[in-house]
Structure 1
Amino acid sequence: MLEEEGDMGTKSAFNWITLWASLLFVVILGFSRLSYGMFLPGIQRVIGGSYGQLGLLGTVNFIGYLVGTLCLPPLIARYPARKPILNGITCLLLGLTLIGSAASDHVIQLGLWRFAIGWLSAFATVLVLSIALDAVRPAERGAASGLIWLGGSAGILATGLFAPLTIDPSHLQGWRYAWVIMGVFGVLAAFGFAFVTRTKGDEIIPSRIESKPSDNESEPVHRLLWSPKKLLFLVSSYFFFGSGYIIYFTYLIPYLVSKGIPSLYAGLIWSGIGFAGLFNGWIGGKAIDRWPSGYTLASGLTLGTIGVCGVTTNNMFLTVLGAALIGLVSFITPPLMTTALLRRHVPPRAYAACLSLATAVFAAGQMLGPLVGGLVVERYGLQSGVASSAIFMAIAAALAGLFGHRQRKLVER
């Protein structure tokens, strides 16, 4: 059985809804966001511009992401029963914008497509998670988050397999074909998720309508997120992780290409990160269900910081080992653990709004990352640019540890 019914119509972590949500995250994270770093060498050959300039399009992408996260809460508040419809339209348009971006002929045109992709992926991230986790038993939502987020790792793995087509100079237009294929996959995944949520919707919606709000249900979202006694350290950790990971994923492949690594090997390294992340999603989800603490999050971020530092050794084996470590413990883990921790610490009716605002903070971090990384690359080179992500990852780990410390003090009281 792929799915198992639980109390009040909820299901186990492994069901058709989480499966299709994971396939959508292949597109939302792996294809729409992180494929850009993989395709950067090929894009530069066709469109031109420096790596610093093209890297700034990552900031444009996350400006769109930030705008999307800020626009979504009012829409959810106004049309709470229309989330499945809004999500279906969003995911369909996301696949189509990937196809459209493949036709870009200059930086400004590509920048507009990247903005639109960021805006749509922000909507899709929050809506897909919110809809899918509503269908899962509370005790298994960490594992369900892991299954969904590992779709992003699968997207990275698949993107790496396109490397001979997208990096090799003999295939100048390869990145265009790859984005078209990814966009078509996104359209199919959007229809699949819409189908399973429509057919299963009657089972999960009544349980949410019948449930009574808790006493703190009406507590303002900003008090939950910005209070040091509640979620401030968790959300701040998410911000710095956003800055750190996007620098690494934007400039890692250009750095490897600059060192003369063949396109096939660079693609295999990229796929290796995604392959390791497949285990990360499941293990991280199980870990946060068993130890729902900021300390669990901090441990993965600390190991990720160590992994980034591999690039500073000028040793390709240690660089590759560090990349695998990042994929294994700190690529999917922070988003899925933050998602699960938010689900545990905010009232059910406030979850979508809290997740949306936390995602906006994450987007702001991802806007800062390419700016800082681009400046470092222009001034000190690609190696220093990649290594600068370790600073942000270390700060994120420290803040997650502070959140865990705060949790422990509350338990002791």
Structure 2
Amino acid sequence: MDLGYKSAFNWITLWASLLFALILGFSRLSFGLFLPGIQREIGGSYGDLGMLGTVNFIGYLVGTLCLPPLISHFQHSKNIINRISCLLLGLAMIASAFSEHFIQLGLWRFMIGFFSALATVLVLSIATDTVQPAERGMTSGLIWLGGSAGILITGLFAPYIIEPAHLDGWRYAWLAMGIFGVLAMVGFEMVTRKQRFESTQFTQLESNSREQEQVSVYRLMFSPNKFLFLLGSYFFFGWGYIIYFTFLVPYLVNKGIPSIYAGLIWSCIGFAGLFNGWVGGRAIDRWPSGYTLALGLALGTIGVLGVTTNRILLTSLGAVIIGLVSFITPPLMTTALLRRYAPSSIYPVCLSVATAFFATGQMIGPMVGGWVVERYGLEFGVTSSSLFMALSALFACLYGKKQGELETRTLRSESMNS
């Protein structure tokens, strides 16, 4: 049966964006905002707290690696797997609010990472499958900006969450976020149930065997002439951005900045990211190139360096630049580039491979960042993220170069054949 494509602006995209407020803004990045409150109540050094972040991303990596075999065994159950993943993610967020010690919180952070990895790929895949191919970059942007909205919302509640007088503020926040996530899952399920999906759209690879399918995916993803440099860019972005988002608020609090201002800076990142999703989606639809991705990453590197000035105004301006051009941009552009150039039949598996690289970077980042903070201080720790952002931009440029060379060869081949 034919699939009736929708425009980027539809109810499925809206509910997917609301889910991404949970998947990205609430479950993943709110941890950095809540660090001061968690440290006051549960204790631990920044190295210990960084390890909790690493545990979360170990779960994210495990979930990403589990997804390809999972969808291979349940080829026509994408919606069911997504429904279960989003529900358990919301419930894990609720449960984590009742943690009393490090081990308990670490276990819940692992589960949150695991289920958010499944939900990230599945929500994106389900939503973009329904949209016209020419608008899939915009769709990815609209979905990813839900994460920015999540950051914006948590920042507005920062004074209550991180003030010493409100010891349990982070618990109530995570409880509310988990409930919101469950409701968003119900809404997404209702609108997708009305949409007609092709029964074989998930991972059928024509008449190839499962072994041949895996070989073709990995040859595509690890070829220097295809997606290898894009994977490298995504890996270093995951490493760099998570250091910045984990230790920015502790740095601001340590500088003696009032919690209301720290929350406003955090909210500014999320507010700027709302425009990032729209601008980045438009840009990658119009200029689907690694160079487009590299530009945002380079500007983000400059934004991180605002911390080195030791001026709150320039630090805030740098945070806004990161929110505007290099917070949502790399994930949505990577998603859109894969959606455009990878065969649609293996797109979910390709996205899982890319997400595994992203997750590995995120897993290493908090651990290395925590070590740097313990050894050299919070300012140097936050600034260190600029190195990895710069490496991400470099790999994006290399991908753009290879992309251009491939297109040139293709044009020459077509002209010779004609």
Alignment correspondent of 1:4:
none
Alignment correspondent of 2:118:
123
1:304 aligns with 2:297: no
Give 1:153's match in structure 2, choosing from 148, 157, 167. Answer: 148
Unaligned runs of 5+ in 2: 410-418
SS in structure 2 at match of 1:230: coil
Alignment correspondent of 1:255:
251
Q: Which amino acid aligns with 2:319?
A: A
Give 2:347's match in structure 1, choosing from 348, 351, 354. Answer: 351
Q: Distance in 2 between matches of 1:55 and 1:372?
A: 8
| Cα deviation, residue 275, structure 1 | 0.1
Alignment correspondent of 1:98:
93
Alignment correspondent of 2:193:
198
Cα distance change, pair 253–10 in 1 and its aligned pair in 2 (3 A) = same
How many residue pairs match? The answer is: 403
User: Is the 1:9–1:207 Cα contact (8 Å) retained in structure 2?
Assistant: no
Give 2:160's match in structure 1, choosing from 145, 158, 165. Answer: 165
**CA deviation string 1:393-412 (max 9, x = no partner):** 00000000000011111122
Alignment correspondent of 1:80:
75
Alignment correspondent of 1:140:
135
Identity of aligned residues (%): 71
Q: Which amino acid aligns with 1:294?
A: G
| Cα deviation, residue 119, structure 1 | 0.3
| Cα deviation, residue 51, structure 1 | 1.5
User: Is the 1:160–1:270 Cα contact (8 Å) retained in structure 2?
Assistant: yes
| Cα deviation, residue 205, structure 1 | 2.0
Q: Which amino acid aligns with 2:55?
A: V
| Cα deviation, residue 344, structure 1 | 1.2
Give 1:50's match in structure 2, choosing from 45, 69, 78. Answer: 45
SS in structure 1 at match of 2:77: helix
**CA deviation string 1:224-247 (max 9, x = no partner):** 111101000001100000000000
User: Is the 1:8–1:207 Cα contact (8 Å) retained in structure 2?
Assistant: no
Alignment correspondent of 1:10:
5
Q: Distance in 2 between matches of 1:80 and 1:271?
A: 40
Q: Distance in 1 between matches of 2:170 and 2:275?
A: 28
User: Is the 2:121–2:351 Cα contact (8 Å) retained in structure 1?
Assistant: yes
User: Is the 2:32–2:247 Cα contact (8 Å) retained in structure 1?
Assistant: yes
Indicate the RMSD between aligned Cα atoms, in angstroms.
1.6
**CA deviation string 1:101-128 (max 9, x = no partner):** 0001111111001000000000000110
Q: Which amino acid aligns with 1:135?
A: T
TM-score normalised by length of structure 2: 0.94
Q: Which amino acid aligns with 1:53?
A: D
Q: Which amino acid aligns with 2:37?
A: G
Give 1:276's match in structure 2, choosing from 272, 276, 287. Answer: 272
SS in structure 2 at match of 1:65: helix
Q: Which amino acid aligns with 1:111?
A: G
Q: Which amino acid aligns with 1:243?
A: W
SS in structure 2 at match of 1:9: coil
Q: Which amino acid aligns with 2:347?
A: Y
Alignment correspondent of 1:394:
390
SS in structure 2 at match of 1:260: coil
SS in structure 2 at match of 1:235: helix
Q: Distance in 2 between matches of 1:288 and 1:371?
A: 32
| Cα deviation, residue 77, structure 1 | 1.0
1:69 aligns with 2:69: no
Q: Distance in 2 between matches of 1:199 and 1:346?
A: 27
Correspondence list, 1:172-183, <5 A: 172-183=167-178
Q: Which amino acid aligns with 1:25?
A: F
1:326 aligns with 2:319: no
User: Is the 2:76–2:199 Cα contact (8 Å) retained in structure 1?
Assistant: no
